[in-house]
Structures are given as C-alpha cells and as structure tokens.
Copies of this chain bind each other. A is one copy, B any other.
Amino acid sequence: MKDIARRAGVSESAVSFALNDRPGVSDITRDRVRRVAEQLGWRPSTAARALSGEGAATVGLVVARPAGTLGVDSFFLQLISGIQEVLAERQLGLLFQVVEDVTAECAVYRRWWAEHRVDGVLVVDPRTDDPRPELLAELGLPAVVTGGVPDTERPQRPGLSTVWADDAGAMASVVGHLHALGHRRVVHIAGLPGLAHTERRMRTLRAEADRRGLTEVRSVTTDYSDAEGAAVTRRVLGADAPPTALVYDNDVMAVAGVAAAASLGFAVPDDVSVVAWEDSALCRMVHPWLTALSRDTVSFGRTAARELLGLLDDGPAGTVQVPLPRLIERESTRAVRTT
C-alpha cells in the first residue's frame, strides 16, 4: 500500500479509503489508486486486516467423527460444496478440521476464537445434551448449527442461528409409505445414539407407530458404518418373526444391509423392504434400486453458509427450515407378501 500511495501521489490513508469504497477521496483519485493497485497486483494482507479489527475473513468447520466413520458417506463433501459456493462470493476462506470427539471440537473452537482465526463457525451433527451451543454463546462466537432441531425451550441466543431439516416429517412419510404397503413389523437401523436427529427420528418412529397401532416397530442404533449396518441386519432378520421392512439411517448401511439380507436368503423387496435415509449414487448402483429419502445436501450447505454470512453482518439470529426430504420410491419397497 505504501508503494501504491507513492506512485499515485497520495497518502496511505487515501489508498485505504479508495480501495475499500469508503468516502473521503474523489472519484478521480479513487480511479487512479485502483489502477495503480491493479497494476501492482496488490492484494490486501488478511493478517494485517485481521489485526486491525476487520476479522479473519474465514469461517470454520469442524467435524467430530471417530477415525473410521468419516469418509463413508458423501454427506460432508456435498455439504462443503454448498458452503463453499456461498463463501466464494465474498472470498471467505473455510478452515476445516477433523477431530475425534465433541470435547476436542470444543477445544478447537476455543483456540480458533482466541487466536482470531475465524469470524464464525458452522456446527454440524447437533446432539442431545450438546455442550457446543453453550460454549459458543459463552465465547460469543457467531455460529449456525446445521441439522439441529430448533431449540424451542431455550431462548434464541443472539449470534446463534439454526438450519434444520424436518426429520420428524420425513420419518412420518416413511412410516406412512410402509404402513400403506401393509408392513407391520419394521426395524429402524438408526445412526449414532447421541445425535439429535437420531433421537428425533427414533421418537417420531415410535410416535407414528403408536398412532397407527403398530406394536412391532423399533429402532436400533449403530455407528453408521457398513459393518454395523450389516451386523444389525443379520441379527434382526435372524430372529423369530423377522421384520418385513428395514429403514436405514444412511445409504451405506442400507446397501450393506441389502447384501447382508441376501446372504441370509432374504430377497429385497420380496422378503423384506428397504428404505435408505439419504439418497445418493449408491442407491442406484445396487440391485434392486433403493427407495430413499432424498434431500438436497448441497443446498443445505448453501443455506447454512448464507445464514452465517447474515450473522457476520450483524444480522439477526434465525431459525430456517430446509425443504422436507422427499421419499423416492424405487424398487426396494413393495407390499408385504400375504402368506
């Protein structure tokens, strides 16, 4: 900037004003400065900007998943794609970190904020008894929790937005679909027990089952891995009065489940129907094609990022709901066989 100032024959302050579209310089000077800057290939130093109070021009994303569990499903990369799209508009960076558990995640938030590394964060995988909203509020770190059930009990915290999908409604549509097909014995192979959406899906399943008078409907939690998905499948299908329908909390387990079922002699959908939560290429790569709940993860990411940008502009914290996932009926669900 000193160079620019010299070459343009003005002071550094004038350069700063000119380059940041702030009043205080004439249009003619502004243009001159801009041209010189352009010519010199000047780019603002984020460090210096950050130091003089402008913020770090970066948002953070940390995902806490045990070592192996990551990378099986495509959820995160898609979410990130969406986030990036929005961040790119303002040339904001995305600081990304993978950690083992929520405790480590909290430590990262503390560190990032103390080090002025980020202006805000995106929080994924909300949990029951989640320590993170508390912490973020305490720190005053702007954040948007994505995937969370809106917290109706507690007051909306300033600087903490929520973007959520209606897991309850989606689960209701799944149960409705299966019930209509005549299924009475259903097992829901759920994801990680501590996650808010897992609990919500399980609660809704129970509620819907009760409402419809279905007694043989239950959930089993897993770690989302193909291994556990297959193991649970074998276990429940091996029992007396095996279920006629299985609902998997992700695509990977669903696919693994179909294979496991086959190995036990259960054909899909003839002997057992299968629904996958989360549609992806996977669901159309196996035979039969899987009936799946489809949501637009990329746009989920976009929405979350946009919400965070709002917060960074001192906008109000809000709660926005993304569209209800649609149930795509394919080949893996069918009316229950009448013996």
In the complex, chain A residues 176-231 whose Cβ is within 8 Å of any chain B Cβ = 225-227
In the complex, chain A residues 279-332 whose Cβ is within 8 Å of any chain B Cβ = 281-282, 284-287
A51-B117 Cα distance, complex, nearest whole Å: 13
Chain B residue contacts of A71, Cβ below 8 A = 74, 77-78, 81
In the complex, chain A residues 35-74 whose Cβ is within 8 Å of any chain B Cβ = 41, 43-48, 50-51, 56, 58, 67, 70-72, 74
Does A97 lie within 8 Å of B84, measured CB to CB? yes
Does B77 lie within 8 Å of A116, measured CB to CB? no
In the complex, chain A residues 80-119 whose Cβ is within 8 Å of any chain B Cβ = 80-81, 84, 91, 93-98, 111, 114-117
Q: From B45, B76, B117, B227, give the contact of A115 (CB < 8 A).
A: B45
Interface size for A (C-beta < 8 A) is 49
Partner-contacting stretch, out of A154-162, A235-243, A254-262? A254-262
Does A111 lie within 8 Å of B91, measured CB to CB? yes
**Given A45-B51, A47-B47, A226-B281; A96-B80 close (CB under 8 Å):** yes
Asked if A268 CB lies within 8 Å of chain B CBs, one says: no
Chain B residue contacts of A41, Cβ below 8 A = 114
Does B116 lie within 8 Å of A45, measured CB to CB? yes
A217-B220 Cα distance, complex, nearest whole Å: 48
A117-B284 Cα distance, complex, nearest whole Å: 41
Asked if A252 CB lies within 8 Å of chain B CBs, one says: yes
Does B97 lie within 8 Å of A95, measured CB to CB? no
Chain B residue contacts of A225, Cβ below 8 A = 281
Most interface-central of A97, A111, A252 (chain B CB within 10 A): A97
A263-B287 Cα distance, complex, nearest whole Å: 9
**Given A43-B111, A45-B115; A72-B74 close (CB under 8 Å):** yes
Q: 7 pairs across A/B with beta carbons < 8 Å?
A: A41-B114, A47-B116, A51-B51, A70-B78, A71-B77, A95-B96, A252-B285
Further pairs besides A45-B51, A46-B115, A226-B284: 14, Cβ < 8 Å: A43-B114, A46-B50, A47-B51, A47-B56, A48-B51, A71-B77, A72-B74, A81-B98, A93-B117, A95-B95, A95-B96, A255-B285, A255-B286, A262-B287
